[in-house]
Amino acid sequence: MTTIEKLQTVLSDGNWHSTEELVQEVGHRFSATIHVAKQRGDRIEKRRVDKNQFEYRRLLRDEVRLQIHRETTLNEQRGC
């Protein structure tokens, strides 16, 4: 299984996953794999949970549509 496939398997549930979990499941260079996944079109969010701790999740299709709608609405309100 490739690192992209491993990442997609872990993030396929749409839940938040810790750095530690991704290191264990994908490998210590998981952030490079996230970068490649984003280049391929995946929408992956990152949030800070502590000073130096982060969590990641993949947005599912419905969530992506909702986020795009929110961003469009915000831009319209700002006059962009």
Residue in the block written with tokens 């929408």: 43
d(CA 67, CA 39): 18
pLDDT band for 74, please (50, 70, 90 cuts).
Answer: confident
Q: What domain range is 33 assigned to?
A: 3-78
More confident site: 16 or 70:
16
Number of domains, the chain:
1
pLDDT, tens only, 12-65: 999 999 999 999 999 999 999 999 999 998 999 999 999 999 999 998 765 555
Query: CATH number of the domain that 68 lies in?
Result: 1.10.10
Residue 55 CB partners (closer than 8 Å, separation 6+):
16, 17, 18, 19, 46, 47, 49
Model's pTM, two decimal places? 0.74
pLDDT of residue 62: 54
